[in-house]
Structure 1
Amino acid sequence: MGNLTQNSVLRKCLIRLKLCSFRCPLTDHYTKRLSVGSAIALLVEAQLQQRESLADIVLNLETNLDLQAFTGLSSIHESTLNRKLNAIPLAYLEWLFAQLTQELKAHQRGAKGIKHFGKLAPVDSTTFSLPKVLGDWAFYQDKTKGVKIHTRLLSLESGCHFPDEIVLSTVGVSDQQAVNRLVTKQDTTYIFDRGYVNYGNFRRWVEQAILFVARLKTKTKYTVLREREIPKEGLITRDADVEILDKVSGQLFQVRLVQFSDDEGKVYEVITNRQELTAQDIGEIYRCRWQIELFFKWIKQHLATVTFHNHHPNAIWVQCYIGMITALLCQLIQRETQTLLSPWNFLRKMRYYFARDWDSFVQTLDIEPTRRSKGRQKIPKPAEAPPRTGDKRETVKIIVS
């Protein structure tokens, strides 16, 4: 795998993945052309440019000299790339994902968290459907077939939210089964929706001093131990210390319950073991859970994650990892430029400048507009015309065929 001949935006993106000359000792032992490193580079480039098929990836390689220089390939057949998806080792992609998360954390080394809440970590999953026949290996029920990406989104400060841990599974794996692999740190507050209600987990986290804010189901039973004072104004309707029974172990545990409503009057009940914050703070922490929904929406709309080129199990997991790695890569490069553009506007601009020089691309970021719009001007209403006199004319109706 060679080097690019110019300092292009494409090179700046791919060089961060440390793929130069990478050959997997096992997978690439007999490979003459398409190595694991080259395949990953092609797939990441396809994600960034939203190429929807293997044919598009192949045609782009044939016409993109920069990409040829980086991968060491002038052309490749679709079937070769298709087979390579089955052979790319997941362990290397997992390592690559971890490396990018560490680089993002290094960029935000001084971050102390969201406001005075500290580090927050919304946890949730998103589902990708598979075709009826080719996805039969991921069957769940009612003819549902698909895979899940269980994600822990790390929020280090306002505007800095990125996944730092993921678990891949079929849709038959519940969120509660995967959550213990995502909840591992004591210096982070985890945020959960109702899909993660598990009283055994809540009890263990209380005992292990793992901080969390979790929404309860409407039929949850608890015993109120003490009512706390709530503000006279605002959306908080209840703040109390409660006791909940874990029926599996038969043990009781105590948590804090906060009840609040949103602007539309919808009522939420959440429990937490954060005692030092106000009830308003707890409600605001739970609202931060929306960041993970925005992240899932972003990768599905602006990357090619939802397009699977090969429906073999290993190929599906590879493509899921590639999508998440590409999302991390976008955030890392955006933070290096220190641009004020939104993630979507940055990605869109990067796509158009992909073959251009990196320095010229950076110079175009956050350029002040030469002409500032004064906004939509209010047009004064015309004065009422005096009533017309004389004969009324018949309305003219013309149909152009």
Structure 2
Amino acid sequence: MDKITRKTSFGQWFSPINLQLFEEQVKTMKLDRYTKKLTTESFLKLLLFAQLHEVESLHALRDCLFDDQLQKGVDLDSISISQLSRRLNGMNPDVFQRLFLDLVSQIHAKTHDSQRVMPLKIIDSSTLPLNLTNHKWAQFRKTKAGVKLHLRLVFIEKGIFYPEKAVLTTAKEHDRGQLEIMVDDKECMYVFDRGYLDYERFDRMTDDGYFFLSRLRKNAVIRAVYDFKRSENSTVLSDQMVLIGTTQNRTENYFRLLRVMDSKGNELQLLTNRFDLSAEDISEMYKSRWAIELFFKWMKQHLNIKKFYGQSEWAIQNQVFIALIVFCLHVLVQIETNSRRKTLQISRYLRAALWKPAHIWLRKMEGKVVP
């Protein structure tokens, strides 16, 4: 990251956005064809600002433009609610999704050499509730509506992880239906929870050369065929080779079943098709699944998706992809500055120095005293 720069902190933070790719999409989709004021680039910057400051509504976002520095930063002096709403509801979310994926590729390139031999990819989903009256297209119960964010997260090390693939569906979509979409890389270890249990798919993944680690339900039918030796100081309760399922519905492949205790003293059953790792290593791998829980918690608490700005399916998707872009930009800051700052702290420092020279913010990120 350029240390000697006249950019503002916002401009520096925004700089990884591939504007050439962005402009190509805008031109191809003719998004600015009849635009006189609110260009797509200004709209993007405005939405990123709104996420950083957790702006509650489009009305509040419009009022933020009274600030001269924001006007200069987004190249816009004022805007109406109707113009913001039309943009949000009418813009194809593929534009923001492409930017998100480009940022993911940048993170991957910068972390590829530092990742473990076989990286961990964590799969999970989270339901984002919606008001049924305004979002009937997303109904999944008689009185509820919502969308579900299916996510694949790359775990690098404690405190550093990033979303790699995201699929948005209505909340009634079952997690298992997305597993095949999320599993497409044989050079990694997939970690997921009980919502993705599917014995037939586990057999298929094993036959196709994919590695996985999942939690098994307590009532699962298990037939142990071999007990592996454990070290005397092992925290693992048992380590076995097993077949899973009943006589009528049993796995064709042998799997490895570990029984471990979590931090609250609860016994967990972990199922994997990896036999080459120690029981302790597998247990530690499953603990990394907590990273995706932290991500969803951060996303819901500190990015403004509690109150969506629009009612259409495109509006919801646009806001979610903007949230993912914000997180990826924070991760790139972590990597470039070798910072151990958490994403929440990055946001706080950035908001405090948003329109100040970038070197002030960067020195703070690196833990240096700002003169």
The answer to whether TM tops 0.5 is yes
Superposed CA RMSD in Å reads 2.3
Counterpart residue number, 2:38: 34
Q: Displacement, 1:364?
A: 3.0
Matched, 1:59 2:63: yes
Counterpart residue number, 2:174: 174
Whichever residue aligns with residue 33 of structure 2, its letter is: H
Counterpart residue number, 2:279: 279
% identity of equivalent residues: 29
Q: Displacement, 1:368?
A: 6.4
Q: Displacement, 1:123?
A: 0.8
Alignment of 1:136-175 (within 5 A): 136-175=136-175
Q: Displacement, 1:18?
A: 3.3
Cα distance per residue 1:171-202 (max 9 Å; x no partner)? 10011111211111011111111111111221
Greater CA deviation, 271-280 or 235-244?
235-244
Change (3 A) 1:248 1:122: farther
Counterpart residue number, 1:94: 97
- Tell me, yes or no, if the aligned pair for 1:148 and 1:169 is still in contact at 8 Å: yes
Whichever residue aligns with residue 92 of structure 1, its letter is: V
Matched, 1:324 2:324: yes
Change (3 A) 1:47 1:92: same
- Return the alpha-carbon distance in structure 1 between the equivalents of residues 75 and 142 of structure 2: 46
Counterpart residue number, 1:7: 7
The structure with higher relative contact order (CA 8 Å, sep 6+) is 2
* Number of equivalences: 362
The structure where helix makes up a greater share of residues is 2
Whichever residue aligns with residue 209 of structure 1, its letter is: G
- Which consecutive residues of structure 2, in runs of 5 or more, have no partner in the other structure? none
Cα distance per residue 1:259-300 (max 9 Å; x no partner)? 111243211111111111111111111111001101111122
Change (3 A) 1:303 1:229: same
- Tell me, yes or no, if the aligned pair for 1:50 and 1:302 is still in contact at 8 Å: yes
Tell me which structure has the larger Cα radius of gyration: 1
Greater CA deviation, 310-319 or 254-263?
254-263
Cα distance per residue 1:62-98 (max 9 Å; x no partner)? 3233x43454322110111011111222222221111
Query: Any idea what SS the aligned residue of 1:13 has?
Result: helix
Whichever residue aligns with residue 115 of structure 2, its letter is: K
Whichever residue aligns with residue 291 of structure 1, its letter is: A
Cα distance per residue 1:117-165 (max 9 Å; x no partner)? x310111111111013012211112422111111111013343210011
- Which consecutive residues of structure 1, in runs of 5 or more, have no partner in the other structure? 371-401
Counterpart residue number, 1:109: 112
- Tell me, yes or no, if the aligned pair for 1:9 and 1:354 is still in contact at 8 Å: yes
- Tell me, yes or no, if the aligned pair for 1:235 and 1:262 is still in contact at 8 Å: no
- Return the alpha-carbon distance in structure 2 between the equivalents of residues 184 and 309 of structure 1: 33
Change (3 A) 1:248 1:182: farther
